[in-house]
Structure 1
């Protein structure tokens, strides 16, 4: 059967879904954890307790000063979006971060680089972009570019890590599509911005752009390393699990 026919494509899609847990066990487990946490917070937990939990794991300045480890790790266990309001911008963000970033790009990274390295990229993007954004916020507060209320702002979820993976996945698309893909990765965080509070966009937009920069830097490093290994006749680096 020709894989390019509709029936062949459907067969290939069903095979990919059926083998997904086996081929990408880390990603599958993480997605299940995210979905379970989302349902628990949004539907099962009392509204005041859910709000208190979100406030506690938000990676804002006050929380990072008071309980940095809990905020950084707890923030990576929920996604800030919706699964039901399909006409909202929040659902679009869910499709990009959870759908493309985690379900697709993390799974690709896991298969190509191994589970440990894929997890390192996810956490490195999440923590690295958060900490660099914190430095930007402190600088902006010193110059009056952000209001003081940003210290207690709600900011949790997986989107920085997902953004890093989206940028890294530039390596996974055909060469002719790499520039459009990179443009999409950079442009989507800017698409929902309203008025800038000063010379900088909202701090979450800054965080997404920084996360993308981390992912692009890693992609360039991987590409250069692979090119050097080919030139030396060593072949590709083996994946680690």
Structure 2
């Protein structure tokens, strides 16, 4: 029994290590006085102010500083998502997808914000906006899971996520919402190179469902977006699955005719 437990810990070492570090940092933040807490958020933020001054360390530190309410509300969902990815894609693929989403989306959003500020489309105050947390990395992991899914699931999966993302963007998304969609797209792009073929079991499917639900709440970020995104995402999933099925049937008929 002990050997089985140790084997399970080894298979989930990245997820568990990250969860322990984030939980520790969050526990310390809860005990800080408000002035110190706000100072930490400002110092760790990957905003234009910090990045323009060469504080590239924020690209790492911000992933471990989460200011998203009670840890009991978001850590279980995050752990389920990361576990689903680590157990199906492997530890190094999880790390690559999370880092690519966190750093890549941050830099792309920063470039867009810098351009918007320069052109006068946004106020210069956005340069000091707080921007910490694991949400970009988490959304990239959602996208990266695409490659681990059985081929018959992928059209519906992609149809749901990109339809839901379109609803979020159409609803007047802020720069963080745009970053989530960018990170999702980066993760999907990575998934095409992973080439994994995992065996899906009931526990893994359960982790996927719980983790994906967490990812969806990160993406929607609001009651209205959650409801509309779910409706349009479901429609997108059904539409994509239908077109995929028609394409398969069409190919089968062509082969039969020939």
Q: TM-score, normalised by structure 2?
A: 0.64
From 64, 71, 83, give the equivalent of 1:77: 64
Q: C-alpha displacement at 1:18, in angstroms?
A: 8.8
From 177, 199, 207, give the equivalent of 2:179: 207
Does residue 36 of the first structure (1) align with residue 24 of the second (2)? Answer: yes
Q: What stretches of structure 1 of length at least 5 have no aligned partner?
A: 1-15, 227-241
User: Which stretch shows the higher mean deviation, 110-119 or 133-142?
Assistant: 110-119
Q: What stretches of structure 2 of length at least 5 have no aligned partner?
A: 198-258
Q: C-alpha displacement at 1:177, in angstroms?
A: 3.9
SS at match of 1:111: helix
Separation in 2, partners of 1:150, 1:195? 20
In 2, are the aligned partners of 1:122 and 1:161 still within 8 Å (CA)?
Answer: yes
Does residue 22 of the first structure (1) align with residue 18 of the second (2)? Answer: no
Alpha-carbon distance change, 81 to 180 in structure 1, aligned in 2, over 3 angstroms: farther
Separation in 2, partners of 1:205, 1:152? 17
Q: Tell me which residue corresponds to 1:138.
A: 114
Q: Tell me which residue corresponds to 1:148.
A: 124
Separation in 1, partners of 2:92, 2:151? 27
Which deviations, in whole Å up to 9, do the C-alpha atoms of 1:46-101 show, x marking residues without a partner? 111011000111110011122432211110112231236x8xxxx5xx3xxx544x
Q: Tell me which residue corresponds to 1:110.
A: 86
SS at match of 2:46: coil
In 1, are the aligned partners of 2:168 and 2:177 still within 8 Å (CA)?
Answer: no
SS at match of 2:57: helix
Alpha-carbon distance change, 29 to 204 in structure 1, aligned in 2, over 3 angstroms: same
Alpha-carbon distance change, 164 to 53 in structure 1, aligned in 2, over 3 angstroms: same
From 68, 82, 86, give the equivalent of 2:55: 68
* Higher-RCO chain (CA-CA 8 Å, sequence separation at least 6): 2
Separation in 1, partners of 2:116, 2:25? 33
> Over aligned residues, Cα RMSD in angstroms?
3.0
From 68, 86, 103, give the equivalent of 1:127: 103
Does residue 220 of the first structure (1) align with residue 192 of the second (2)? Answer: yes
Q: C-alpha displacement at 1:35, in angstroms?
A: 1.3
Q: C-alpha displacement at 1:148, in angstroms?
A: 1.4
Q: Tell me which residue corresponds to 1:237.
A: none
Alpha-carbon distance change, 39 to 182 in structure 1, aligned in 2, over 3 angstroms: farther
User: Which stretch shows the higher mean deviation, 115-124 or 207-216?
Assistant: 115-124
Separation in 2, partners of 1:38, 1:187? 33
Q: C-alpha displacement at 1:44, in angstroms?
A: 1.0
Q: C-alpha displacement at 1:202, in angstroms?
A: 1.2
Separation in 2, partners of 1:194, 1:44? 39
Alpha-carbon distance change, 116 to 221 in structure 1, aligned in 2, over 3 angstroms: closer
